[in-house]
């Protein structure tokens, strides 16, 4: 089993990302910035209605318009459209304006069908059935045979319903790509994607050419969160448009409205939870009936129970299908929903018992889970940082004025493991330059910098001495950026390639230094003989002559693992007259094994927390039952946090020798899981009554207060 260096000089340090200056200065060109010579602009034709059959479609007038070079349809007359925003086809023209004019000129006659835009509509008796097999599909019930008896015997019984809505991806750089046919069987693609190899494979399959003939490049990208794993229907349309236009590049990126409607979303989650506990705060039973929607053809499952040990549990889940855009993986798929629903119930039953919710959680951690000792350390760190012991008060005891302040917390878990089939190449050149390559990509997490840090560590160089080339499908096979798997998948082969390149390099130059290869080592830009500096790195590289040393290597075992836990604490102020929530502080404690770059690691945790603040306070897809349309498919009414909404965020790594010994584990997703749960619990603690609907908007806060006054809470 391989091991990481025991006394690293770079690994674990705080190293600025290599591409940071280019991104911050605007010098870096994103895929949506690329304009190859002769670029045509593609615009999608999408459904303006929630559910319909196409009676007829006529693009002849659009084809004759000035500047229009190609039209391609993927839904013809007789086809069915299942949601507003579903793709019908696309147009390529000399300018975006001409393409949009042409899209408007395509004549489509629709046979409007009865729709169900919300879960309530879809589940109602007599609702129009939009799916073969019905709008509601029940999964297999999972139940302990003694759960009903355990619930009836519990000292305290919770019976509540919680819900968290659909949210959309809202990537800063919208979904899309530019496609150019170089000849009849070779294309070049500039894509905003989390999976350069996947884009090549999907387009190769669509056009029946070898995957090696599709050259996909993603030097950088502007966000994906799990939603950019393929070429997608618009990418295939762009390929057809380019071919019809004589191979000219076609740029096809979704507009902001299409991002909301077509670019994917995180499913909703609703749970009717009955939970039982003893007087001394031990969970005895949990019965959950859950449902959610992933759109017109996707499921919406999530884990429940979550994190805690429930000796007797029953869970039945239903997927609800509606005429809405389909779900896609979104940063820790399913976990934010499961965490929010579970943690709300945990806080509410703790309040019923009259026990400190922190103590209640500690009592109910799973006794045989390897994460439990990790949680205990993290909870101690987080509670101290938020001031839990000094500040926490039971519900209803947070002051007499209109501004109430409360504390909340939540725990989460994730996998974050890697694969072992990826490769990295490392090349040492006679001029002293070093290049690493892999067909992975940087989702914004710092992958490029991580590979450089590892290589520089092995070669005794600075990170800036390494040229880290990624995001190109022609490079050695790399990991898609999803599931928090990139760092644990790419770090081991990067280390192995650097080690092998170092050894080959030293073996090659040893004769010129009148030494044996085993006498040589590298440190601080020098070649050492028996531990003493002998020659500079660049002078040593000159002894390679005209040749380079190049190695392509896969992963070594023992350098990565999976399975992490984390916790977050939130402090919030709530105005009980207006319902406005103001966050004051969030503490995020997270483990993730060996941290390669503390600076980019912290950046991921900060970003995860901010990403969790949005569904906690602002984000929701609002559907109109009457028209079946999304009412806030824009950046005016679809609310996201601004700079003034971000509180103090304290990030604490569980960076211990025991954690580091586990090797690299991904951290991209876990920090966003429990944020919405912790904030909800802080809000409920502040105002003294549970708020059971996310986001914590003034309306939902005031509704909870009103329900409590009417005895309905």
- Is residue 671 within 8 Å of 605, Cβ to Cβ? yes
Q: Is the backbone peptide bond immediately before 695 cis, with ω within 30 degrees of 0?
A: yes
Closest CA to 622 of 324, 396, 309, 290: 324
Residue-wise pLDDT for 503-529, tens only, equals: 999 999 999 999 999 999 999 999 999
Q: At what angle do helices 232-244 and 196-207 cross, to 10 degrees?
A: 50
CATH superfamily of 34-113+175-253: Aldehyde oxidase/xanthine dehydrogenase, a/b hammerhead (3.90.1170.50)
pLDDT value at 289 more than 70 = yes
User: b/e string for 657-686 if b means 16 or more Cβ within 10 A?
Assistant: eebbebbbbbbbbbbbbbbbbbbbbbbbbb
pLDDT of residue 713: 62
Q: What is the mean pLDDT of residues 381-388?
A: 98
CA distance 67 to 95: 7
Instruction: Kindly give, in sequence order, each residue whose CB lies less than 8 Å from that of residue 128, ignoring residues fewer than 6 positions away.
Output: 113, 114, 115, 116
CA distance 130 to 295: 11
**What CATH number does domain 265-416+561-709 carry, 3.40.50.300, 3.40.50.11810, 3.30.365.10, 3.40.50.2300?**
3.30.365.10
Residue 439, token pair as written in the block: 């067909």
The DSSP code sequence of 442-474 is -SSS-HHHHHHHHHHHHHT--GGGEEEEESBTT
pLDDT value at 463 more than 70 = yes
CA distance 480 to 315: 33
pLDDT of residue 711: 78
Closest CA to 90 of 264, 250, 238, 255: 238
Closest CA to 410 of 451, 432, 379, 439: 379
CA distance 452 to 272: 49
pLDDT of residue 522: 98
Domain pair 20-28+418-553 / 265-416+561-709, same fold = yes
Helix/strand/coil for 537: helix
pLDDT of residue 396: 86
Query: Chain-centre distance of CA 430, in angstroms?
Result: 41
CATH of domain 20-28+418-553: 3.30.365.10
Residue-wise pLDDT for 702-713, tens only, equals: 999 999 998 766
The answer for 488, left when phi > 0, alpha when psi is -120 to 50, beta otherwise, is alpha
Across the chain, what does the average pLDDT equal?
97
Residue-wise pLDDT for 17-36, tens only, equals: 999 999 999 999 999 999 99
- Is residue 678 within 8 Å of 614, Cβ to Cβ? no
Query: Residue ranges of the domains in the chain?
Result: 20-28+418-553, 34-113+175-253, 265-416+561-709
Residue-wise pLDDT for 125-139, tens only, equals: 999 999 999 999 999
Q: What is the mean pLDDT of residues 582-594?
A: 98
Q: What is the mean pLDDT of residues 688-696?
A: 98
CA distance 257 to 106: 19
398 — pLDDT class (breaks 50, 70, 90): confident
Q: Is the backbone peptide bond immediately before 305 cis, with ω within 30 degrees of 0?
A: yes
Report the percentage of the chain scoring pLDDT > 70: 100
pLDDT value at 266 more than 90 = yes
Q: What is the mean pLDDT of residues 101-124?
A: 98
1 — pLDDT class (breaks 50, 70, 90): confident
Report the percentage of the chain scoring pLDDT > 90: 98
Q: What is the mean pLDDT of residues 495-509?
A: 98
CA distance 394 to 357: 9
């Amino acid at each position: 089993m391989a091991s990481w260096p025991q006394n690293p000089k770079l690994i674990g340090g705080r190293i600025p990302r290599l591409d940071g200056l280019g991104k911050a200065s605007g010098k870096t060109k994103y895929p949506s910035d690329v304009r190859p010579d002769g670029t045509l602009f593609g615009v999608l034709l999408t459904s303006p209605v929630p559910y319909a059959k196409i009676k007829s479609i006529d693009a002849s007038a659009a084809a004759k318009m000035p500047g229009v070079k190609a039209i391609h349809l993927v839904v013809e007359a007789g086809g069915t459209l299942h949601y507003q925003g579903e793709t019908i086809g696309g147009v390529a023209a000399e300018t975006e304006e001409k393409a949009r004019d042409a899209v408007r000129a395509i004549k489509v006659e629709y046979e409007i069908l009865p729709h169900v835009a919300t879960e309530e509509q879809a589940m109602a008796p007599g609702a129009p059935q939009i799916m073969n097999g019905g709008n509601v599909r029940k999964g297999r019930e999972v139940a302990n045979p003694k759960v009903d008896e355990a619930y009836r015997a519990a000292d305290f019984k919770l019976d509540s319903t919680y819900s968290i809505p659909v949210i959309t991806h809202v990537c800063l750089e919208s979904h899309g790509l530019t496609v150019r046919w170089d000849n009849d069987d070779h294309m070049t693609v500039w894509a905003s994607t989390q999976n350069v190899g996947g884009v090549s494979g999907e387009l190769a399959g669509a056009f029946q050419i070898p995957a090696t003939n599709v050259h996909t490049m993603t030097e950088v990208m502007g966000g994906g969160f799990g939603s950019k794993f393929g070429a997608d229907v618009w990418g295939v349309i762009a390929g057809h448009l380019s071919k019809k236009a004589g191979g000219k590049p076609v740029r096809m990126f979704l507009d902001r409205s299409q991002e909301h409607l077509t670019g994917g979303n995180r499913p909703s989650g609703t749970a009717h939870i009955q939970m039982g506990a003893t007087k001394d705060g031990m969970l005895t039973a949990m019965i959950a009936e859950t449902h959610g929607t992933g759109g017109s053809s996707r499921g919406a499952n999530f884990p429940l129970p979550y994190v805690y040990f429930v000796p007797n549990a029953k869970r039945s889940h239903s997927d609800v299908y509606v005429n809405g855009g389909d779900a896609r993986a979104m940063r820790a798929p399913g976990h934010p929903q499961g965490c929010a629903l579970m943690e709300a119930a945990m806080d509410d039953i703790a309040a019923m018992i009259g026990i400190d919710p922190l103590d209640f959680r500690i009592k109910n951690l799973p006794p045989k889970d390897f994460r439990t000792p990790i949680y205990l350390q993290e909870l101690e760190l987080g509670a101290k940082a938020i001031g839990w012991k000094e500040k926490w008060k039971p519900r209803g005891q947070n002051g007499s004025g209109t501004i109430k302040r409360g504390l909340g917390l939540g725990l989460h878990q994730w996998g974050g493991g890697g694969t072992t089939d990826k490769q990295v190449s490392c090349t040492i050149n006679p001029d002293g330059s070093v290049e690493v390559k892999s067909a992975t990509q940087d989702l914004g997490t710092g992958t490029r910098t991580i590979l450089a840090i590892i290589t520089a560590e092995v070669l005794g160089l600075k990170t800036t001495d390494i040229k880290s080339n990624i995001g190109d499908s022609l490079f050695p096979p790399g990991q898609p950026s999803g599931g928090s798997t990139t760092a644990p998948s790419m770090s081991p082969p990067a280390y192995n390639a650097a080690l092998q390149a170092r050894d080959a390099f030293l073996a090659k130059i040893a004769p010129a230094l009148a030494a044996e290869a085993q006498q040589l080592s590298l440190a601080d830009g020098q070649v050492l003989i028996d531990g003493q500096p002998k020659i500079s790195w660049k002078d040593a590289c000159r002894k390679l002559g005209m040749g380079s040393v190049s190695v392509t290597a896969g992963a070594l075992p023992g350098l990565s693992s999976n399975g992490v836990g984390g916790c977050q604490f939130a402090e919030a102020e709530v105005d009980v007259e207006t319902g406005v929530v103001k966050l004051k502080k969030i503490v995020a404690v997270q483990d993730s094994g060996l941290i390669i770059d503390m600076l980019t690691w912290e950046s991921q945790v900060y970003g995860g927390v901010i990403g969790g603040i949005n569904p906690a306070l602002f984000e929701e897809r609002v559907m109109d039952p009457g028209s079946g349309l999304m009412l806030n498919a824009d950046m005016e009414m679809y609310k996201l946090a601004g700079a003034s909404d971000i509180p103090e965020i304290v990030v604490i790594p569980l960076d211990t020798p025991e954690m580091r010994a586990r090797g690299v584990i991904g951290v991209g997703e876990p920090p966003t899981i429990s944020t919405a749960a912790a904030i909800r619990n802080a809000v409920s603690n502040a105002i003294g009554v549970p708020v059971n609907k996310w986001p914590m908007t003034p309306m939902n806060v005031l509704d909870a207060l009103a329900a409590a006054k009417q005895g309905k809470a």
